[in-house]
């Protein structure tokens, strides 16, 4: 009987993004870590979870509810409706996000330019969907780049055109060259994606001078900059942080992507985008790009759960809207771990004096990630072997490049481990590298 035959589809019948490494690589990494649960994970970029607290979630909800009634003067019926009913597509904690950006980043933003999103990933997706108007559009992005950016670009059929990262996070001269090269190829570069602070995966930060040069180039070339800033608060050194691109942006060149996953809780799945660019509609009405993004959002997720937003809102309110203050313990933990990892690498690979030569690593000024360069290509097969035979997980840097060229580097993350786990992980990684060098030499 026909009706009982299986409906078999093949991936080739589905959108081309499916089957693309940008989408499958994340799956592969998750599968490896599930298959080897006992392995020490220097792969996971998840935030430190020792301070997570369900009681705090309850408290944040109540704090935000009180804010609605006591500060904003809503009746209890209105407050209940705001928290539990369908609601404003652009969100209900936009005013607190604007305050947070003023307090922590010196960014002045109209709350109407904020769209609260389901994590920063949705913010990224909405912006790319809006900017991809036709097949001539391309997105510039520093290579290596965050795999979530490449994946979202694939879903909207937007090619990612690589720009050299260099040692300072973005090679501004190369960006200029690539913009012209793309245009000469008949393409329209819409924006350049950058993570100026402790980038995922490179760990590198863009210098204050290069930030200014980026803004100047964006104005000259009529480009938008998509600034993604999930790690900015986690600097190791004392003293002032460099300003964000958005804080320096006097010409509405920067679309700012924000995340609360690392600074509050991943489980709330709340992020946001600041899109103050003025967009003229067909009727001549001008409004912020945020309004266009909200129209897209209304057809993707309708609105971000107001319950989840209230958790973030409550946490902000309980800390005077400063996440710098709220993350003192987390920042210490990451700083301690980063130092422990770098010291541990130095001890295990003392350079020419002993151990395998040509093992090098970055020493980031903050964030979650260190990149280790080794004298052999690092691929998925090696990761699988590392997990199975050595009991340590990390991320092949090849995953962050949008091509298939071999890459002799791997990413280590310090965010979800303790110093003893770092020691154990590094011991195992050292054994792997030593064996691999010997195997290739022999």
Burial class (CB in 10 A: 0-12, 13-18, 19+), 220: exposed
Residues 52-91 that bind a second copy (CB under 8 A): 52-54, 57-58, 61, 65, 80-81, 83-87
The 3-class secondary structure across 212-253, one letter per residue, is HHHHHHHHHHCCEEEEECCCCCCECCCCCCCCCHHHHCCCCC
Under the binding rule (CB under 8 A), the answer on residue 216 touching a second copy is yes
Measuring CA to CA, how many Å separate 171 from each of 177, 205, 388, 391, 403?
10, 12, 38, 37, 19
* Residue whose CB is less far from a second copy, 46 or 95: 46
Of residues 2 through 21, those in contact with a second copy by CB under 8 A are: 2-19
Sheet containing 409-413: order of strands: 360-361, 369-373, 409-413, 395-396
Q: Which is nearer to a second copy, 151 or 242 (CB)?
A: 151
Report the nearest approach of a second copy to the CB of residue 43 (Å).
13
Residue 402 touching a second copy (CB under 8 A) = no
Distance CA 404, CA 21 (A): 10
Q: Which stretch binds a second copy (CB under 8 A): 164-172, 264-272, 331-339, 387-395?
A: 264-272
Smallest distance, a second copy to C-beta of residue 360, A:
30
Closer residue to a second copy (CB): 33 or 434: 33
Taking the C-alpha atoms of residue 292 and residue 18, their distance in angstroms, rounded to an integer, is: 27
Q: Which 352-381 positions form the footprint of a second copy (CB under 8 A)?
A: none
Of 94, 235, 269, 331, the one binding a second copy (CB under 8 A) is 269
Question: Is residue 302 a contact residue for a second copy (CB under 8 A)?
Answer: yes
35 binds a second copy (CB under 8 A): no
Q: Cβ 384 to a second copy, closest distance in Å?
A: 15
If binding is defined by CB under 8 A, does position 405 make contact with a second copy? no
Q: Which of 217-225, 358-366, 380-388, 396-404 is the region at the interface with a second copy (rule: CB under 8 A)? A: 217-225
- DSSP 3-state of 175: helix
CB 219 → a second copy: shortest distance, Å? 4
If one asks whether residue 121 binds a second copy (CB under 8 A), the answer comes out as yes
- Segment contacting a second copy by CB under 8 A, of 123-131, 322-330, 380-388, 424-432: 123-131
Quick one: CA torsion of 298, 263, 224, 370, rounded to 10 degrees? -130
Q: By C-alpha distance, which of 356, 331, 335 is closest to 345? A: 356
Our finding on whether 219 is near a second copy (CB under 8 A) is yes
Residues 354 and 99 sit within 8 Å (Cβ to Cβ): no
How many chain residues bind a second copy (CB under 8 A)? 96
Closest CA to 265 of 229, 310, 204, 221: 310
155 binds a second copy (CB under 8 A): yes
When binding is defined by CB under 8 A, the residue of 63, 200, 263, 303 that contacts a second copy is 303
Closer to a second copy by CB, 36 or 349: give it: 36
Is the distance from CB of 202 to CB of 401 less than 8 angstroms? no
């Amino acid at each position: 009987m026909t009706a009982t035959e299986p409906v078999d589809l093949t991936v080739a019948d589905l959108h081309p993004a499916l089957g693309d490494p940008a989408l499958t690589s994340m799956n592969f990494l998750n599968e490896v870590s599930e298959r080897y649960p006992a392995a020490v994970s220097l792969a996971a970029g998840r935030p430190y979870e020792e301070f997570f607290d369900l009681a705090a979630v309850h408290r944040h909800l109540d704090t935000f509810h009180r804010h609605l009634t006591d500060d904003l003067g809503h009746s209890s019926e209105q407050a209940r409706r705001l928290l539990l009913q369908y609601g404003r597509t652009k969100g209900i904690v936009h005013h607190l996000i604007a305050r947070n950006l003023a307090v922590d980043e010196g960014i002045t933003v109209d709350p109407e330019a904020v769209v609260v999103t389901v994590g920063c990933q949705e913010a990224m997706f909405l912006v790319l969907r809006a900017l991809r108007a036709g097949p001539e559009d391309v997105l510039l992005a520093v290579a290596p780049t965050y795999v979530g950016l490449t994946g979202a670009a694939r879903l909207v059929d937007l090619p990612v055109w690589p720009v050299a990262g260099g040692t300072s996070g973005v090679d501004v001269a190369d960006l200029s060259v690539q913009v012209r090269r793309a245009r000469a190829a008949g393409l329209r570069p819409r924006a350049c994606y950058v993570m100026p602070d402790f980038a995922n995966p490179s760990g590198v930060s863009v210098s204050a001078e290069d930030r200014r040069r980026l803004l100047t180039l964006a104005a000259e070339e009529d480009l938008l900059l998509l600034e993604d800033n999930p790690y900015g608060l986690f600097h190791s050194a004392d003293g002032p942080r460099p300003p964000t691109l958005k804080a320096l942006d006097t010409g509405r060149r920067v679309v700012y992507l924000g995340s609360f996953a690392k600074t509050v809780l991943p489980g709330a799945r709340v992020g946001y985008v600041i899109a103050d660019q003025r967009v003229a509609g067909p009727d001549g009405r001008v409004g912020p790009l945020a309004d266009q993004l909200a129209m897209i959002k209304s057809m993707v997720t309708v609105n971000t759960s107001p319950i989840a937003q209230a958790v973030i809102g409550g946490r902000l309110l309980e800390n005077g809207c400063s996440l710098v203050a709220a993350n003192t313990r987390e920042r210490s933990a990451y700083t301690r771990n980063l130092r422990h990892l770098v010291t541990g690498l130095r001890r295990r690979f003392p350079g020419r004096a002993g151990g395998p030569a040509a093992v090098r690593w970055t020493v980031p000024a903050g964030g979650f990630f260190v990149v280790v360069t080794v004298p052999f290509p690092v691929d998925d097969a090696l990761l699988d072997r590392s997990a199975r035979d050595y009991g340590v997980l990390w991320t092949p840097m090849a995953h962050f490049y949008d091509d298939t060229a071999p890459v002799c580097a791997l990413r280590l993350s310090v965010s979800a481990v303790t110093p003893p786990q770092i020691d154990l992980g590094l011991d195992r990684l050292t054994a792997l590298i030593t064996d691999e060098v010997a195997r290739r030499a022999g």
